[in-house]
A and B are shown apart, each in its own frame.
Chain A
Amino acid sequence: MNRIIEKIKGITWKYYLNYIVIGVVAAVFSALTFAGALPQSTLYLLERMTISIILAVSLGLVVGFLGELSLGHAGFMCIGAYIGGKVSVLLADALGKGVVNLLISLLVGALIAAAAGFIVGLPALRLKGDYLAIVTLAFCEIVKSLFQNTSEESFGGPLGLRTPRFDKQYLFIIGFVLVLVTLAVIQNLLRSKHGRAITAIRDNEIAAHATGINVTKYKLVAFVISAAFAGVAGVLYSFANNNVQAAVFDYNYSIEILVMVVLGGMGNITGTIISAAVITYLNTTLTVVLTGNLAVLKDLIYALVLILIVVYNNAPALKNFREKYNPRKFLKALLKLTHPESKKYADDEGAWARVPTKIEMNEILSTDIVVNESTKNPDKADKGE
């Protein structure tokens, strides 16, 4: 008996916080929906939230932990949505619109998206920073364009693919289960030697090479897993909607996901989940509240909030102010949760202002048409010492 208690005490609760909170939220809402107490709009909102969370957490793996900037997440989602949607259409006759169909579609959609991630990642991950960003953005636009130009029989062309909608009442529960699966896979990966290798690449790629980390392999692993879950989110999207239209998955959508990751805190999964949920909620609420003439204010408000939050969170000049009026500190003081030991404990999820992202390329402003600088001026190009 004592041993069991010891064991429970030994568990790092922090590791399981995400699961517990999401599990509780899912359980509460499931209970409510079984009781019929939830309006449809809430169910839709929850569906959208789960999709956003899966997208944001999976993109967070690449941006927050691998430190590479990808603007093509919506492209993988698009692949997942179309492929998964198509599979579900083909299976709908034989298997109906139930869970079995959903599972098979999810599997196929995720696999194809992962394969796309592999095909794109293999060459593209040689590029760094902004170059990778633009290549992924380009990939996203190419995928969109290709699906738009398909024939009506295959993927519906510009009209989009008609997909069977899953039961509205319960889809969000599957969404939450998928969020938990996503979290389990990504957190388990990160909290292992492989996760350390990925974080090491983010922190210092050169040192990671020198420490024997197979950088290419781990970049690909992170990229492929991230793509696979974008595919999962896409399949979920195809089940949450009656239509999959490629136009939705443009680079603006990728940027929206990136915003969730960045506002949530780079390399902070809990923060990413919260920001994905809050941003989705905010977007939905603004759409609902701002009707008629006020609708144009939506983007304005969104933009202003975005700029203010980012400047407030990051401006070096506001550092003292931030530390003085830290809401988290305030909350902790209020609940007296600060333990003298807790300050010593630090996780890998460092403050994100410090987390390096390799999006700076050190390109210099150049005016000469010199094809290869290093041949002309070797000691400048490489100061080996």
Chain B
Amino acid sequence: MSEFVLETKNLGISFGGLKAVQNVNLKIKKNEIYGLIGPNGAGKTTVFNMLTGVYQPTTGTFYLNGEELKGNSQEVINRKGIARTFQNIRLFNNMTVIRNVMVGLHNLPEFKCGILPTILRFPSQYKTERAMVKRAEELLSIFGLYESRNLLAYNLPYGKQRKLEIARALATNPTLLLLDEPAAGMNPHETEELMETIRFVRDNFDMTILLIEHDMSLVKGICDNVTVLNFGTTLAEGNVNDALSEPEVIKAYLGDD
């Protein structure tokens, strides 16, 4: 067992000659909330995309609990334990809230039920279905979404959509949760609430969290360590306050002057 939940080694990707991201070395310990920050266009989401298998890294590799995951498809990586949310919310809009979460439960071994048994309506189908509903309702209660479980995801208010996305990601029972700008578009009050939720998730789900965020109050509020990216390379890493006070980082955020 590795010391780190997630470890990336010289992770990098280039698109036809342009090096979008290079030499990213993240080391995230268990139950840590880790921030990945940097100005727009720094390559943060690209890192997420590599970690979740959307893009295949051209250099380097990454390990989850010591297991190398590079080269796997998105589905496999998710099953191995990395779940994510998206910068621009991607819910299953025309499905109800509870079913969004139930899609997340799809691959869990305890809810295994083949296609033939479901079509022929074996008892196992009903059993699985009931168990899935129960688990999903538990998850929704935790996120305060139980009341709106039968609404279409489309009709949820923005803040709840963010929460639902996190709930869906958690439903896949990951070891590492990637949050892509979870506080985007939220007011300070909502952000506050979100920070509570993230901490809650970390504590109650025994979760390790890697998040991208622009809201420095949130980053400072909950992140243990951060990595600062700029133009695809690592500017600084380590403790939040230390990293953010590095002159390089300030320069990158505020410009040369």
Contact = CB atoms under 8 A, between A and B. Distances in A.
Direct chain A–B contact by Cβ atoms under 8 Å: yes
Interface of A: 184-185, 188-189, 192-194, 196-197, 199-200, 202-204, 206-215, 221, 267, 344-348, 350, 354-356, 372, 374-376, 378-379, 381-382, 384-385
Contact of B119 (A188, A210, A347): A188
Nearest to B147: A344
Nearest to A197: B106
A384 B111 contact: no
Given A213-B75, A375-B16, A376-B16, A204 B106 contact: no
Given A189-B119, A348-B96, A204 B46 contact: no
Given A212-B75, A212-B106, A385-B46, A193 B132 contact: yes
A114 B132 CA distance: 30
Given A188-B118, A384-B55, 4 more contacts: A197-B106, A212-B74, A348-B99, A350-B94
A379 B14 CA distance: 10
A384 B49 contact: yes
B102 A193 contact: yes
Nearest to A212: B78
A385 B106 contact: no
Contacts of B105: 193
Contacts of B17: 375, 378
Contact of A212 (B15, B79, B121, B125): B79
B44 A385 contact: yes
Given A196-B95, A346-B152, A214 B75 contact: yes
Contacts, number: 150
A47 B79 CA distance: 47
Contact of A199 (B49, B55, B73, B95): B95
A211 B104 contact: yes
Interface of B: 14-18, 20, 40-46, 49, 52, 54-55, 73-75, 78-79, 83-84, 86, 90-96, 99, 102-107, 111, 113, 115, 118-121, 125, 128-129, 132, 150-152, 154-155, 168-169, 172
A208 B111 CA distance: 17
Contacts of B41: 385
B235 to A, nearest CB: 16
| A interface secondary structure, majority | helix
B90 A207 contact: yes
Contact of A211 (B18, B115, B119, B172): B172
A346 B150 contact: yes
Given A193-B111, A346-B152, A210 B83 contact: yes
A363 to B, nearest CB: 20
A207 B118 contact: no
Nearest 6 Cβ contacts at the A-B interface: A212-B78, A350-B94, A384-B46, A192-B118, A375-B16, A203-B92
17 contacts: A185-B119, A199-B94, A204-B90, A204-B91, A206-B86, A207-B90, A209-B54, A212-B83, A346-B151, A347-B96, A350-B94, A354-B93, A375-B17, A376-B16, A378-B17, A378-B18, A379-B15
Contacts of A207: 86, 90-92
A350 B152 contact: yes
A343 B155 CA distance: 13
Contacts of B154: 350, 354
A381 B15 contact: yes
Given A210-B83, A221-B115, A374-B15, A354 B49 contact: no
Nearest to A350: B94
Contact of B94 (A188, A203, A375): A203
Contacts of A379: 15, 18
Given A196-B99, A212-B106, A385-B43, A267 B75 contact: no
Nearest to A67: B94
Given A210-B74, A213-B75, A345-B150, A354 B119 contact: no
Q: Which of B54, B73, B104, B169 has the most chain A CB atoms inside 10 A of its CB? A: B104
A203 to B, nearest CB: 4
A270 to B, nearest CB: 16
A196 B103 contact: yes
B58 to A, nearest CB: 12
A212 B151 contact: no
Contacts of B16: 372, 374-376, 378, 381
A344 B150 contact: yes
